[in-house]
Structure 1
Amino acid sequence: MSSETTRLQMALLAPAQAQKHVTVNEALMRLDGMVNLVLQSVSTAVPPGAVLDGQCWGLPASSEGAWAGQGGRIAVGANGGWIFLPPAPGMRAFVADRGQQAIHDGTDWAVGALSLGQGGSGLMTGLAEGEVTLGTGSSAVTDVLIPAGAMVIGATARVAAALTGPLTGWRLGTTGATNRFGQGLGKPEGSWARGLLGSPMAYYQPAPLIVTSEGGNFTGGRIRLAVHWLEMRLPL
């Protein structure tokens, strides 16, 4: 009989074992981290300065320091140190720094996967978000980027600091369609846009979101932006 469980490698109690609480407590620490799994990141290679019990990280191959040599495994914070566990194909997690669900394909985490075939193909969700601080001008090309090969569902925005200048409103879109996700949008703080497309739009080249003024130039303000899409994952 094996001395540990298959999936989470939790040590099993032995007959007449001394200090059974040590074995049980470590098993509980592993379960606390791995049940309803939340990964802080799957791309961070350097361990955090403070180890929080139960906090989990998906380790890239380039991991350093206390994570060196553990690439591909899950690091679970436990008693000021780390327990390293192997992910299993089909395991699901929420990746906190990406704001998306992920499925493990047996080699890596497929972030955004809705489905994942045995050959690695899948239907993926995508999300990019950011904030633009406006200066003087009629438009701003933002860092919020739609990738090539994306089927865009829509984009959303909220004014984080009131827009200033002689403008009457603003619009949100991309090159060639500056109002694709909304026009005549409000200037006061808290104004918002929910640009849901009637038909999803395929983008075959990368495209940044563009904010454009109406009726006059911007002189200041901040807008938070997000864009949402679907894409198809190629077989491995």
Structure 2
Amino acid sequence: MSETTPLLALPLIAAAQAQKHVTHNEALLRLDALAQLGVHDRTRTAPPADPVPGDRHIVAAGATGDWAGHAGEVALFDAGWRFLAPGAGWRAHVAAEGRTLIHDGTNWRDLLAATPGGGVRLAAEEEELDLAGAFVETELVIPNRAIGLAVASRTLAAVTGATAYEVGIAGETSKFGGLLSVVPGATNIGVIGPQAFYADTPLRVTALGGAFTGGRVRLVLSYLAFDI
């Protein structure tokens, strides 16, 4: 008889086993981690500095330290790191991306893009920016062959040096919002008519009335992507 269950590898209590509670509690801990699986993120290559029990992450490729050799596995913190190897059909919600992944037996894939013959997915990605200079180009990119929908912005810390700012792209600096407020808490949702982009296109935050000398904003990019 196997010592673990075939799908989730939950440990089984053996006949006449001493300290049955140890095996039982281990099975409960694994089940608690895997049922309704949700992780914080999937981009880390090293453990966070201050994890709390129950924290879960999908380990990114190239992981180091305690996570070395566990790329693609679910890292669970419980008085130390333990690792759960996924199988085909596992699903995980990634809080940092607001999307659900499915495991195909080899890799994690976006659930909406995992259908045979291709798929379409609605994606939302965010970034926080410290502002300096005439403009700041973000790491947020509208992907090649995607349909751009909107960029939402929020002023997190008072913007200094400029009297307002714009959110857009090179050549269209106010495409997703112009004359935006420098006051903390100010928000805008820059909706555009669905537009196809034929090259990776970074977002840009541009100063108005002077160059940025400080401030912080958060951007959320929404777009439709297509997979072959």
TM-score of the two chains, using structure 1 as the length reference: 0.79
In the TM superposition, residue 31 of structure 1 has moved relative to its aligned partner by 1.4
Correspondences of 1:147-162 after superposition (within 5 Å): 147-162=143-158
- Number of residue pairs the alignment of both structures matches: 226
Residue 124 of structure 2 contacts residue 220 of structure 2 at CA under 8 Å; is this kept in 1?
no
Matched, 1:92 2:91: yes
In the TM superposition, residue 158 of structure 1 has moved relative to its aligned partner by 1.5
Q: Residue 31 of structure 2 aligns with which residue?
A: 31
Q: Residue 179 of structure 2 aligns with which residue?
A: 184
Larger strand fraction of residues? 1
Residue 167 of structure 2 contacts residue 178 of structure 2 at CA under 8 Å; is this kept in 1?
yes
In the TM superposition, residue 66 of structure 1 has moved relative to its aligned partner by 4.0
The one-letter amino acid of 1:175's match is A
Q: Which runs of 4+ in 1 moved over 6 A?
A: none
Which is worse superposed, 5-14 or 56-65?
Answer: 56-65
Of all paired residues, the percent bearing the same amino acid is 36
Do the aligned partners of residues 80 and 164 (structure 1) sit closer, same or farther apart at CA in structure 2, a change above 3 Å counting?
A: closer
Correspondences of 1:1-236 after superposition (within 5 Å): 1-48=1-48, 52-82=52-82, 84-111=83-110, 113-118=111-116, 121-124=118-121, 125-135=123-133, 137=134, 139-165=135-161, 167=163, 169-197=164-192, 199-214=193-208, 216-222=209-215, 223-234=217-228
In the TM superposition, residue 224 of structure 1 has moved relative to its aligned partner by 2.3
In the TM superposition, residue 159 of structure 1 has moved relative to its aligned partner by 1.8
Residue 5 of structure 2 contacts residue 11 of structure 2 at CA under 8 Å; is this kept in 1?
yes
Cα shift readout 1:146-175 (whole Å, capped 9, x = no counterpart): 2323222200111223334574x4322112
The one-letter amino acid of 2:107's match is D
Cα RMSD of the aligned pairs, angstroms, is 2.8
Give the Cα separation in 2 of the matches to 1:166 and 1:61: 40
In the TM superposition, residue 94 of structure 1 has moved relative to its aligned partner by 2.4
The one-letter amino acid of 1:178's match is T
Cα shift readout 1:9-38 (whole Å, capped 9, x = no counterpart): 012223332211011100111012112222
The one-letter amino acid of 2:126's match is A
Where in structure 1 are there 5+ consecutive unaligned residues? none
Give the Cα separation in 1 of the matches to 2:167 and 2:212: 17
Which is worse superposed, 216-225 or 188-197?
Answer: 216-225
In the TM superposition, residue 133 of structure 1 has moved relative to its aligned partner by 1.0
Residue 160 of structure 1 contacts residue 221 of structure 1 at CA under 8 Å; is this kept in 2?
no
Do the aligned partners of residues 200 and 53 (structure 1) sit closer, same or farther apart at CA in structure 2, a change above 3 Å counting?
A: same
